[in-house]
Amino acid sequence: MGWEWVTRGLVNQKLRGINSKAWWPVTPYQKVGSPDNIIFHVDDINNFQMPGSYFQAFGRIVIGKGTYIAQNVGIITANHNLQNLDLQAEAKPVSIGEKCWIGMNSVILPGVELGPHTIVGAGSVVTKSFVDGHCVIAGNPAKVIRHLS
């Protein structure tokens, strides 16, 4: 599977110019903005093969080792300025701890920090940090629905 990702990534990134600034293979069905602001362990390159995901990365995005990110997940580091929608608000970093799982169709908003082993339920909107980790969060806005031992 890895060679297939690399080959597809090279064709789409280098020849077609899709996500061309990323140094790693990214599926053409995903949007990676400012790849220099994304930090992840190379063993977790599978996170960049899920269709529909969006890594905005105006600010720094850190993804801990062993984390899984499902399809159609949005990780956002900057929103529009509420007073002037033509402008971006200041970017805030997003940090995802080790061995987390971000469920399908979830959105993680600017400034969020998720501690280790945080499970984000499908379709959740994470608006605040859960730095202690070891929990399942879900909903809009996301809240702890279960602690993990």
Residue 111 falls inside a structural domain: yes
Residue 48 falls inside a structural domain: yes
Residue 17 falls inside a structural domain: no
The model's pLDDT over 64-108, given as tens digits with 9 standing for 90+, comes to 999 999 999 999 999 999 999 999 899 999 999 999 999 999 999
**Strand pairing category for 74-75 and 107-108:** parallel
Name the one residue in this structure whose structure tokens are 């945080």.
118
Residue 19 falls inside a structural domain: no
Q: How far is CA 6 from CA 36, 46, 98, 124, in A?
A: 19, 11, 24, 31
pLDDT band at 1 (very low <50, low <70, confident <90, very high): low
| Range(s) of the domain holding residue 77 | 30-147
Active-site entry in 41, 80, 117, 147: 80
Residue 3 pLDDT > 80, yes or no? no
Order of strands, sheet of 107-108, starting from the edge strand that comes earlier in the sequence: 31-32, 54-55, 74-75, 107-108, 125-126
Residue 21 falls inside a structural domain: no
Q: Is 41 a catalytic residue?
A: no
Tell me if 76 sits within 8 A of 107, measured CB to CB. yes
How many domains does the structure of the chain reveal?
1
Q: How far is CA 136 from CA 9, 43, 70, 71, 88, in A?
A: 33, 24, 15, 18, 31
* CATH number for position 97: 2.160.10.10
